[in-house]
Amino acid sequence: MSQNEKSTTIKRRSVIKGILGTGAAVTMAPLALNLTAKDAQAAARALPQQWDETVDVLIIGSGFAGLAAAAEAAATGAKTVILEKMPSYGGNSIINGGVYASWDDELHLREKLKLGEDSPAQHTQDTLKGGDFYGDPALVKILADGAADALNWMMDKGGCTVRPALTRAGGHTAYRTHTSTEGVGRGYTEPLRKIALAQGAEIRLGVEVTWIWRENATGPVLGVEIKKGRRVSNIKVSRALVLASGGFSRDIKMRREYNPSVVPEINCTNHPGATGEMIRYAQAIGADTLQLCFIQLYPFAEPETGVLDKPAVYPFNGVGYGLVYISKEGKRFVNELERRDVCSQAQINLGEKPTYSIFNEAMIVKMGGAQEDVDKGLERGRFIKADSIEELAGKLKIPAAALVKTVEEHNQYLKKGSDPDFNKPITDKMIPLEKGPFYAVAQWPAVHHTMGGLRINPSAQVIDIWGKVIPKLYAAGEVTGGIHGSNRLGSNAIPDCVVFGRIAGRNAAKV
């Protein structure tokens, strides 16, 4: 830590301690915490004289983590309410690519499909390595250990179904990525919502949280201020508050302050509500944060809009079966099994968008795809189809001779089991691009996930800047940091959210 960083940290701690120590529900200076002028004005107010409502467990956010937390909290008999600021439930989760990393499942797909060995320990190691070992090993182990049980729970209690395929995604050393039957995150949010509602949880839409109430630096969280329409009111929590509000990919100012290299011109896959205010409000009552500079680009978003649609998931799912990434010059430019940050940077270094993923019909079902998805993608112009590589090159307007040469060389690499160009690990599950029809999909990086956030412990309790638990405050999902490190491996988001959401919900109900 530099002298300047030490000075900033000491100053922040001193300011928070001094302000919270007064007994008023106030926060630190807006400049140091990235709070808006409106936030700072709110911080100067005294605690509510009376509460408009009291609930046992209050959850902010209705994505994977929030729904999982609600299901577990409500199962204990606690009065459980989810607040969602958007007009519909689900947040980023419902538009997620529908991929879930787990070493096993109750269907035992990996074993049935003869896709090799895997284990929670291997998943843990991959995740730690994929994030340059910035992740907390204890938290990563919880994610990997709990992934299978959480998936089975959604299947058994919520009716979740997955396609009969497993993929090996970039950064993973095993075929462990499951795909929901729907091919999007809704395939998990709907089962989670079903479980939560069946247990008696309530979801309220269009409710914006505008503050977290806490009396002093040692006391518990008391509740939140909310706004619905023009009405402002306060909800008291008798047991605990759970933050499951997601990240801040849509807050350009916050992104730039923590990572100036993520310029505003880069598209974003996230929904409009991913604005990070709950992180700032938690900071204002003393919560610690970590690794907020780690912001991930999704390498395969739709090039013009940044949308994460179904075709944008094929480049991610297909690499374990032989799909290749091609530049506009008709050449490979990266090891396709590399992690997302490496693939994104390789594209940016090319300097000209888009790049393309190329696969054939034999790969579709194996990679967890569906012909129906491809047909719809063709209708929308997202997939390009051809009977030969030469014809495909013509449709993409890239040099045919270069593309043919690249594909033929890659086919030989798969047969020989060695990739001298990019040292990609070759497996016997990879299919040479010899038989058509062939398909291409355009891709380009877009802001996708913020790995940093609130510091939590293995019980999903939020930790303050002095290393102590903030009583009655829990967090799970993308609002937290310290799990994925510098780079989140694809398909780790859902197990992270669901596993820690369940932990947060259970523990919040026990308070």
Contact 227, 210 (CB under 8 A): yes
Catalytic entry in 214, 250, 340, 382 = 340
Kindly tell me the sign of the dihedral angle through the C-alpha atoms of 11, 17, 23, 25: positive
Contact 451, 486 (CB under 8 A): yes
- The first and second tokens of residue 87, run together, are 């007009």
- The first and second tokens of residue 489, run together, are 């491996």
Contact 166, 104 (CB under 8 A): no
Q: How many CA atoms, within 13 angstroms, populate the side-chain half-sphere of residue 343?
A: 35
Binning the chain into helix, strand and coil, the percentages to the nearest 5 are 35, 20, 40
List CB contacts of 77: < 8 A, sequence separation 6 or more. Answer: none
As a whole number of angstroms, the distance between CA 35 and CA 133 comes to 30
> Of 139, 187, 181, 153, which Cα lies nearest the Cα of 68?
153
> Of 86, 410, 372, 406, which Cα lies nearest the Cα of 246?
86
List CB contacts of 444: < 8 A, sequence separation 6 or more. Answer: 267, 299, 300, 301, 302, 303, 347, 353, 354, 355
> Of 435, 400, 415, which Cα lies nearest the Cα of 326?
400
296 bridge partner residues: 449
Cα 363 to chain centroid, rounded: 26
Strand boundaries in 273-418, DSSP class E: 289-290, 295-301, 324-326, 355-360, 383-386
As a whole number of angstroms, the distance between CA 81 and CA 235 comes to 10
Active-site residue flag, 340? yes
Contact 183, 311 (CB under 8 A): no
CB atoms within 10 A of CB 47: 15
Catalytic residues: 340
